[in-house]
Structure 1
Amino acid sequence: MGNISIDPSKQSRKENYKFLIGSVLPRPTSLVTSKNNSGLINAAPFSFFNVVCSDPPMIGINCARKPGGVRKDTSLNISQNGEFVVHIVDEQIVELATQAAIEFPPNYSEVEEVGFTLEESHYISVPRIKEAKIQMECKVSQIIEISNKDGVPSSDFIIGEVVCFHIDETLYHEGRIDTLKLAPVGRLAGFNYTTVENDITIPRMNFEEFQKKKEKQNI
């Protein structure tokens, strides 16, 4: 059994995208709210999303651009406003979060259209979605513009510092979050998602423990 080696520079953007989403999984899923200059609240789901740093707490989302390097609403709003809220997508809101990906006209708010409830944030002007069990108020730290091989901007990597965590009290216990109660949803390829039904505990060994384990295996 051998490998198939493929040069991404000889493939289309769509072909490389399929390989990425079929390989890097399950991906954490989030729903991001932002606000435009007119005060309209935008909501968009992201699966190109993860932790960037813990000191200070930072998270990153990658917002792909439209053809011709045109920024999407989320990226444009955040670049203008400097604030956004990241919500963890769970089993209870995944369907509504997916509906927020619909290309609504510019004067429509996805939040209102799909039926989410907004509530004020504590430290930023962008409101939170009440239905999400975990909400993170963020202020922009960096926006890194990524260009393709032709020099055309293809996406924006947005790094935000978390200035406030909002955690449903039913999930919180002694500084930790109960994963199974949160019921986060991970993104797979295509239109598929996955849930956390079982977790695997693998304690991390120090060097001495690792050496002892190797010695036992070699006996």
Structure 2
Amino acid sequence: MLIDFTRLTPLEAYRWLTATVTPRPIAWVSSLSREGVSNLAPFSFFQVISDEPPTLLVNIGLHDDGRLKDTLRNVQDTGELVIHLVTASQAEAMNASSASLPHGVSEFEACGIASVPAERVAPPRVAGAPVAFECSLAEVQPYPRDNPSNYLIFARILLAHVDPEILDERGRVDPRKLDLIGRLGGSGYTHTREVFEMARPQL
């Protein structure tokens, strides 16, 4: 089967990509508006892209009507965000925060998600998140540049909160204890509980 992506509609391309490029980590992003209203939303076009400097990338699309999403608007306005990883126990809360609420309505409040203050940035953290990265905005890149449908947020990590409960006896993250979820196609999700190891070849 051959799929000609040059002939697909954006929706068709999205469905093929999200069904095949899996599992995708989920960035649960908190931000603050200029008016001080907190926002919380999940994004699965997300990855670590650099360790020097430590940088995460979150791709944020537009609303169907072309409006900027609140997360993007807030981050552009304030230059700060917190990126959380999502555990199986937080899946329902994360999913609830993906609803398209009116501008100016906080997902923390509307969805009953508890928050705690961050250390170095203004947006709050999700209480109980096993890993939370406090970040400053490095840059935003529209893509494609001539007619953007997505905006790439380069988030430089300032500080990370790591729950000691997810560490093993060596002080390293145990993926089974971390118990993250990943995004599949459609409404599918997966767990990171099943783990196997392979040593890199030494040539």
Normalising by structure 1, report the TM-score: 0.88
Secondary structure of the corresponding residue to residue 190 of structure 1? coil
Secondary structure of the corresponding residue to residue 88 of structure 2? coil
Task: State the one-letter code of the partner of 1:82.
Answer: G
Equivalences, count: 202
1:200 aligns to 2:200 (yes or no): no
**In 2, Cα distance between the equivalents of 1:177 and 1:114?**
29
Which runs of structure 2 are paired with 1:95-134 in the superposition (5 Å)?
95-134=92-131
**In 1, Cα distance between the equivalents of 2:81 and 2:157?**
10
| Partner residue in 2 for 1:211 | none
Which entry has the higher C-alpha Rg, 1 or 2? 1
| Partner residue in 2 for 1:6 | 3
- 1:41-82 CA-to-partner distances (Å, cap 9, x unmatched) read 000011111111111211111000124542111111101110
Q: Which runs of 5+ in 2 are unaligned?
A: none
| Partner residue in 2 for 1:166 | 161
Match of 1:182 among 178, 181, 194: 178
CA positional deviation for 1:109: 0.5
Match of 2:41 among 44, 47, 50: 44
CA positional deviation for 1:120: 1.2
Does the CA contact (< 8 Å) of 2:175 and 2:193 recur in 1?
no
**In 2, Cα distance between the equivalents of 1:90 and 1:104?**
23
| Partner residue in 2 for 1:30 | 27
**In 2, Cα distance between the equivalents of 1:119 and 1:68?**
33
**RMSD (CA atoms):** 1.4
CA positional deviation for 1:152: 2.4
- 1:176-213 CA-to-partner distances (Å, cap 9, x unmatched) read 21111110001111111001232111100122xxxxxx
**In 1, Cα distance between the equivalents of 2:58 and 2:176?**
24
Distance 1:197 1:172, change over 3 A: closer
Task: State the one-letter code of the partner of 1:184.
Answer: L
**In 1, Cα distance between the equivalents of 2:104 and 2:81?**
19
| Partner residue in 1 for 2:139 | 142
| Partner residue in 1 for 2:17 | 20
**In 1, Cα distance between the equivalents of 2:149 and 2:50?**
24
Q: Which runs of 5+ in 1 are unaligned?
A: 208-219
Match of 2:77 among 77, 80, 90: 80
- 1:148-186 CA-to-partner distances (Å, cap 9, x unmatched) read 8xx421010101011000011111344521111110001
